[in-house]
């Protein structure tokens, strides 16, 4: 039985697709057979980030409408044999998604995959609700600013009421990832502090991904940023996947802050204004 993970946020543009791609690739790099599904019907991006936009023949809409079977629609990643992509439709809209249609796909994928990563669109409408409905675990992507935190809170409310697990009274794993974190802006107080976000949302932190040029470069190159071993963002995603799989201890804010402090002191010493 596969574990279904939804990557969601409520707010748009915070890094869901970037995170979905990197988490899926990370799991595959740990030899887990993984499929990542794009639920953003009509505005698909996952195929671009994964670098397979020219290989999409059939998409999720074709499968739901039984115009193609799952094997015809699944695209194997060019860099990792454990990783597959199911693209969203570009020409249709979210009405094509049905609970039964999505459920059928998830069941079929569960037979052969270890992990199913669902890349949710922004908002709280059908695409987002379908992406989260069958989830066993949720990764909530949040930027360290008020509107993103408010939307993440709303999404957390929906995860605990509008999912199959919630309806059955079962627990749904919740993990928080903070993305686009800027060391500089956090220290001046422009961005919310990690402790504040954690207090407001009350969900365990899986990791912090710093704002990084490498994210844009990776999306241009069509490879998930986790494969950029030297980039700060890539390293952060690798740690996140390791924590998710229990191979690394839980995120330690105190340690993180200590490192920040050291960083700041180093720069001050060398007369560089951060």
Partner 1 sequence: MSESSKDASPSLAFKADFFPLTVIRLTDISLPKLKKMVKSTLKDAPNYFSNAPIVVDVNDIETQEQLPLSKMKIILKESGMILIGIRGLNPAMHQDAIDLDIAVMKNTRPPKSEPARQASKPTTGSNKTKIITKPIRAGSQVYAKGGDLVILAAVNAGAECFADGNIHVYGPVRGKVLAGATGDKTARIFCESLDAELVSIAGQYLIHEQIVVPDNAKSMIQISLIDDKLSIKRT
Given a contact cutoff of 8 angstroms between Cβ atoms, the answer to whether 221 and 79 are in contact is no
What span, in angstroms and rounded, lies between the C-alpha atoms of 15 and 107?
A: 27
Question: C-beta of 181: minimal distance to partner 1 in Å?
Answer: 22
CA distances from 241 to 27, 64, 172, 178, 250 (A): 7, 30, 18, 14, 11
Residues 153-172 interacting with partner 1 (rule: CB under 8 A): 153-154, 156-158, 160
Q: Indicate the SS3 state at residue 101.
A: helix
Given a contact cutoff of 8 angstroms between Cβ atoms, the answer to whether 154 and 73 are in contact is no
| Per CB under 8 A, 12 contacts partner 1 | no
Angle at the Cα of 27 from the Cα atoms of 176 and 33, rounded to 5 degrees: 135
| Per CB under 8 A, 150 contacts partner 1 | yes
User: How many chain residues interact with partner 1 (CB under 8 A)?
Assistant: 10
Question: Smaller CB distance to partner 1: residue 79 or 160?
Answer: 160
Closest CA to 51 of 87, 23, 12: 87
Given a contact cutoff of 8 angstroms between Cβ atoms, the answer to whether 180 and 37 are in contact is no
- Mark the segment that binds partner 1 (CB under 8 A) among 24-32, 81-89, 149-157, 208-216: 149-157
Question: C-beta of 227: minimal distance to partner 1 in Å?
Answer: 35
Question: C-beta of 202: minimal distance to partner 1 in Å?
Answer: 5
Question: Smaller CB distance to partner 1: residue 40 or 151?
Answer: 151
Binder of partner 1 out of 71, 72, 184, 202 (CB under 8 A)? 202
Give the per-residue contact string, 243-272, with partner 1 (x = CB under 8 A; - = no): ------------------------------
Question: Smaller CB distance to partner 1: residue 145 or 153?
Answer: 153
Q: Indicate the SS3 state at residue 139.
A: strand
Tokens of 169: 């009274």
What span, in angstroms and rounded, lies between the C-alpha atoms of 44 and 173?
A: 26
Question: C-beta of 151: minimal distance to partner 1 in Å?
Answer: 8
Q: How many CB atoms lie within 10 A of CB 225?
A: 29
Question: C-beta of 102: minimal distance to partner 1 in Å?
Answer: 23
Question: C-beta of 200: minimal distance to partner 1 in Å?
Answer: 7
Binder of partner 1 out of 43, 68, 200, 221 (CB under 8 A)? 200
Return residues touching partner 1 (CB under 8 A).
Answer: 150-151, 153-154, 156-158, 160, 200, 202
């Amino acid at each position: 039985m596969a574990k279904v993970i939804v990557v969601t946020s409520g707010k748009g543009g915070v890094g869901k697709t970037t995170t979905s791609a990197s988490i899926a690739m990370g799991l595959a790099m740990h030899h887990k057979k993984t499929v990542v599904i794009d639920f953003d019907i009509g505005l698909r991006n996952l195929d671009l980030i994964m670098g397979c936009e020219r290989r999409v023949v059939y998409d999720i809409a074709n499968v739901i409408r039984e115009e193609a079977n799952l094997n015809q629609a699944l695209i194997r990643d060019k860099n990792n044999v454990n990783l597959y992509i199911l693209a969203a439709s570009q020409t249709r809209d979210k009405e094509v998604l049905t609970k039964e249609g999505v459920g059928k796909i998830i069941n079929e994928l569960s037979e052969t995959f270890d992990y199913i990563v669902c890349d949710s669109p922004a908002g709280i409408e059908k695409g987002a609700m379908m992406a989260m409905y069958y989830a066993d675990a949720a990764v909530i992507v949040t930027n360290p600013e008020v509107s993103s935190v408010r939307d993440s809170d709303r999404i957390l409310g929906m995860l605990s009421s509008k999912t199959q697990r919630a309806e059955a009274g079962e627990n749904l794993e919740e993990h928080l990832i903070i993305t686009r974190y800027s060391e500089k802006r956090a220290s001046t107080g422009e961005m919310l502090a990690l402790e504040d976000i954690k207090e407001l949302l009350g969900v365990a932190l899986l990791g912090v991904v710093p704002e990084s040029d490498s994210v844009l470069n990776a999306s241009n190159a069509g490879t998930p940023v986790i494969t950029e071993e030297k980039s700060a963002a890539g390293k952060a995603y690798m740690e996140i996947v390791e924590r998710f799989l229990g191979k690394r201890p839980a995120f330690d804010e105190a340690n993180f802050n200590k490192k920040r402090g050291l960083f700041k002191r180093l720069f001050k010493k060398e007369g560089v204004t951060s």
